[in-house]
Chains A and B, each alone.
Chain A
Amino acid sequence: MIAAHATEFAGLPVRDFSRKRRIVDPTGTIYRLSTDYDAEDPFTDLLSRFLEDPNAGRVPGLVIGAWQGDESDASSEPIVEALVAARETLGSLRALFLGDIISEENEISWIQQSDVTPLFEAYPNLEIFRVRGGSNLAIGTIRHENLRSLIVETGGLDAEVVRGIRSSDLPRLEHLELWLGSDGYGGNVTVADLEPILQGDQFPALVYLGIRNCEKADEFARALAKAPILERLEVLDMSMGNLSDEGALALAESPAVAGLDLLDIHFHYVSEEAVGKLETLGIKVNADDRQEPDDYGGETSRYIAVSE
């Protein structure tokens, strides 16, 4: 489950805008806009108020939280449209998090996203884009000079999104993080879908690759272990998935993995022994939060961290 809202984004502390409804600290804070279940104003009003604030042009970032109160089927489309329309107003925006919604507020697979591609064209200075919720999420082919960080958090990612990303021209992309999720919630990304990225030519500046919250972690680990891109990476993140010894050992045997700065597999199903093998590589390994498989009704399951 996702238990907490972001307290920090793009290196700055996050504060709720709804409290004071004024941009008090435009450059030292990133504001979160969200509507509570008992909020008086609908989200669009709150966003308008933010945009009308005299300091809106100075904010470096924005976090969009729950935009729908209790209702789970309100699409992010009007918000994306409003943000695109506000491109002149939010002239300093370089970091955007669309969907800071926790499990207590909504199931991740119930968050209704939309086509976020227009945001990239509207904000050529955008450096960090983070989105949560895979339902109806669309990312097409993007050409963006400045994007450094792309994070897509889902309980089930559609391969079409990966197709869009892998065909994109992002010369400054350093951090690519994808939560693949489970097929029960629409996740259908295969190793083949990631192949162009794994070949290593796609994103020349990439140093962090995250294939996270993955239900086929062993399979992806085997593929990543031999992927040319690994030679350029500093960090490989396979945390929150159902990685077991099979995948861990494939990683342990990879010379390219041994060249990483950090291998992050926290929340995993890997035995102590296999973790030991990873640790002998001489690289930093995060193997926190070992999970026990779940035995219910005679079946053993290795659940990923966020599958809901």
Chain B
Amino acid sequence: MRPGERLMRVVTVGNPSCVRIAAFQDALERAGQPTSVVISYLDLIRERDALDRTMREGDCLRIESPGQEFEVERQLIALGANVDDEPGASRIGRDGALRLLFDRGRIWFPRQWFLGFRELLRDVDRRRAAWPGHVAMNSPSEIEAMFDKPRCHGLLVKRGVSCPPSLGRVRSYDELRQRMQETRIFRVFVKLAHGSSASGVVALAIGRQGVVAFTTAEVVREAGEVRLYNSRSIRRIEDGREVALLVDTLAREGVQVERWIPKASVDGSVFDLRVVVIGGRARQVVVRKGPGPMTNLHLRNRRDDPSRLRALMLESEWDAAMSEAERASSAFPSSLHVGVDLLIAPGYRHWAVLEVNAFGDLLHGVSDRGLSTHDAEIAELLGGWAA
């Protein structure tokens, strides 16, 4: 610890075995700060006052991703069982949720999962009012917004951020085709409204020749039910009925549909950027390349540092693209960090914000002037960042 620097106690809500927790602990140690107290999602779900009993004056709350832990997934789906909602999405009772069996890649009740996660976040938000003075690295209400793609898109547009146009709400493949005809937008991205990263995403184009879709999502019909899976490889589908079934299945859960804006390429691969904006400034950047329309850190795609790309762009253009990412983050002023997915168009002169990720700061091995995302976040906090 540097002389004169204060000690900061971080309370993390997360899944203890997750690499995210360990990575942040390492960063705290590098900064000479005490280890974070970790409250597991399971504990918080079971004992809602866990944070009430833990938070002390001057603490910093860090909410981490609930992902990668099946028990937590079940619990959140169970939590969403009794939340009122418009009909349409798949629902399961509380007991049924708790009895779900692990099925790799399976997308379970995405809308209901969101309702449960939202319930938990709102509960934390309500209880915060009674805690002693503290700083929250990410605000529960903004996390909720970032997990709701249609709403998130609206917030970005309101902020003047350059985004692909939305086609509005669609509830079925037929409705999607109709909307595409009406708007004359024939190439779209269909994304689960509450999915993370590349979960349940379809890039789709319609023409006189038919339809073509690119997706990592898969619908499997088994034992009389329709099951939705994420895989790690992109498939190309030209069978109209298969595309219809896939889109219908996704649309039922709530989807965000946007125009498919062409992406630029570097060295023969299409790419987009993940820009981690910390304290309102664009910091760590990674180029995510893919052989097809999807680029994502979880898929087996290549990721590179941006030096190759920067050599192809004017400095002023790069700066403007980074400013766009910063503008996106300004729609979430109470979040110390956001992971912005930024598209660069062919010609490298135009860009668009594709996604804003609440837990988009897990960028292993990527640094900005020697600092990892976590290092930079801690530095901001020690420097007095407050929402």
Q: Which residues of A line the B interface, CB within 8 A?
A: 1, 3-5, 16, 19, 37, 69-73, 102-107, 109-110, 135, 308
A104 engages B212 (CB within 8 Å): no
Listed stretches B74-82, B84-92, B106-114, B202-210; interface member = B202-210
**Distance in angstroms between the alpha carbons of A280 and B291 in the assembled complex:** 33
| Min CB–CB distance A154 → chain B (angstroms) | 14
At the interface with chain A, which of B3-11, B240-248, B264-272, B279-287? B264-272
> Given the interface contacts A37-B259, A72-B186, does A104 sit within 8 Å of B208 by beta carbon?
no
CB distance from B275 to the nearest CB of A (A): 20
Contact of A5 with B346 in the complex, beta carbons under 8 Å: yes
A10 to B259, CA, bound (A): 34
- Chain B residues whose C-beta falls within 8 Å of the C-beta of A110 in the assembled complex: 205, 207, 209
Of B186, B270, B347, the residue contacting A104 (CB under 8 A) is: B270
- The answer to whether A16 touches B347, judged by C-beta atoms less than 8 angstroms apart, is yes
Residues of B within 8 A of A (CB): 184-187, 205, 207-209, 212, 236, 259-265, 268-270, 291-293, 346-347, 349
Q: Is there an interface contact between A102 and B346, defined as CB atoms closer than 8 Å?
A: yes
Residues of B within 8 A of A135 (CB): 209
CA distance A4 to B344 in the complex (A): 13
Question: Chain B: which residue is nearest A37 at the CB level?
Answer: B259
Chain A residue with minimal CB distance to B203? A104
Among A3, A16, A69, A71, residue most surrounded by chain B Cβ atoms (within 10 Å):
A3
**Cβ-defined partner of B262 (8 Å) among A73, A102, A308:** A102
Q: Which 3 A-B pairs have the closest CB atoms?
A: A72-B207, A104-B262, A3-B265
Most chain A CB inside 10 Å of its own CB: which residue of B186, B263, B270, B291: B186
A1 to B290, CA, bound (A): 11
CB neighbours of B184 from chain A (8 A): 69-71
Alpha-carbon gap, A277 to B184, bound state (A): 54
Tell me which of B186, B207, B270 contacts A1 (CB under 8 A): B270
* Pair A72/B209 contact, Cβ less than 8 Å: yes
A72 close to B291 (CB less than 8 A): no
Whether B209 pairs with A105 at a CB distance below 8 angstroms is: no
Interface pair A104/B346, CB less than 8 Å apart: yes
Known: A104-B262, A104-B293, A104-B346. A72 touches B205 (CB 8 A): yes
Residues of chain B contacted by A308 (CB below 8 angstroms): 212, 236
Q: 6 A-B pairs, CB-CB below 8 angstroms?
A: A1-B270, A37-B187, A37-B261, A69-B184, A72-B208, A73-B207
Q: Given known contacts A70-B184, A72-B186, A308-B212, is B268 in contact with A3 (CB within 8 Å)? A: yes
CA A69 to CA B259, docked complex, whole Å: 12
In angstroms, Cα B11 to Cα A98, docked, is 61
Assess whether A4 is in contact with B262, with CB atoms less than 8 Å apart: no
Assess the B185–A107 pair: CB atoms within 8 A: no
Q: Assuming A37-B185, A70-B184, A308-B212, is B205 touching A107 (CB within 8 A)?
A: yes
Residues on the B chain within 8 Å of A103, using CB: 270
Q: Assuming A72-B205, A107-B205, what are 13 further A-B pairs, CB within 8 angstroms?
A: A4-B265, A16-B347, A19-B349, A72-B207, A72-B209, A102-B265, A102-B346, A104-B263, A104-B293, A105-B262, A107-B207, A110-B205, A110-B209
Given the interface contacts A102-B346, A104-B293, does A4 sit within 8 Å of B185 by beta carbon? no
Distance A1 CA – B271 CA, assembled complex (angstroms): 13
Residue of B at shortest CB range from A19? B349
Residues of B within 8 A of A1 (CB): 270, 291-292
CB-based nearest A residue for B233: A296
The answer to whether A73 and B208 have CB atoms under 8 Å apart is yes
Tell me the smallest distance from the CB of B207 to a CB of chain A, in Å. Answer: 3
Give min CB distance, B162 to chain A, whole Å: 11
Q: A40: shortest Cβ distance to chain B, in Å?
A: 14
- Contact flag A70-B346 (CB < 8 Å), given A3-B268, A102-B262: no
Q: Could you tell me the distance between the alpha carbons of A110 and B238 in the complex, rounded to whole angstroms?
A: 13
- B residues within 8 A CB of A104? 260, 262-263, 270, 293, 346
Which of B209, B212, B259 is packed against the most chain A CB atoms within 10 Å? Answer: B209
Interface centre among A1, A16, A109 (most CB of B within 10 A): A1
CA distance A1 to B269 in the complex (A): 9
Most chain B CB within 10 A, of A5, A37, A106, is at: A37
The answer to whether A70 touches B187 (Cβ under 8 A) is yes
Contact B212 A107 (CB under 8 A): yes
Closest A residue by C-beta to B292: A1
Residues in A neighbouring B263, C-beta threshold 8 A: 104
In the complex the two chains form, what is the Cα distance from A19 to B349 in whole Å?
10
The complex places the Cα of A106 from the Cα of B187 at a distance, in Å, of 9
Please report the C-alpha to C-alpha distance between residue A110 and residue B187 in the assembled complex, in whole angstroms. 13
CB distance from A205 to the nearest CB of B (A): 32
Q: Which residues of B contact A73 (CB under 8 A)?
A: 207-209
Flag if A71 contacts B186 (CB, 8 Å).
Answer: yes
- Residues from chain A with Cβ under 8 Å of B269 in the complex: 3
CB distance from B17 to the nearest CB of A (A): 34
- Bound form: Cα–Cα A107–B205 in Å: 9
Task: Please measure, in the bound complex, the distance between the C-alpha atom of A241 and the C-alpha atom of B103, giving whole angstroms.
Answer: 39
A105 to B293 alpha-carbon distance, docked (Å): 11
Which residue of the partner chain A has the closest CB to B165?
Answer: A38
Closest chain-A Cβ to B375's Cβ sits at a distance in Å of 35
- Tell me which of A37, A69, A71, A104 has the highest count of chain B C-beta atoms within 10 A of its own C-beta: A104
Residues on A with beta carbons closer than 8 Å to the beta carbon of B186: 70-72
Q: How far is the CA of A224 from the CA of B199 in the complex (A)?
A: 47
- Residue on A nearest B187 in the bound complex, by CB: A70
Q: How far is the CA of A12 from the CA of B87 in the complex (A)?
A: 59
Residues of A contacting B261 in the complex (Cβ-Cβ under 8 angstroms):
37
Tell me, in angstroms, the Cα distance from A201 to B199 when the chains sit together: 57
Output the least CB separation between B131 and chain A (Å): 47
Residues of A within 8 A of B292 (CB): 1
How far apart are the CA atoms of A69 and B185 in the complex, in Å?
Answer: 9
Q: Which of B208, B270, B346 has the most CB of A within 10 A?
A: B346
Complex CA–CA separation, A23 to B373 (angstroms): 46
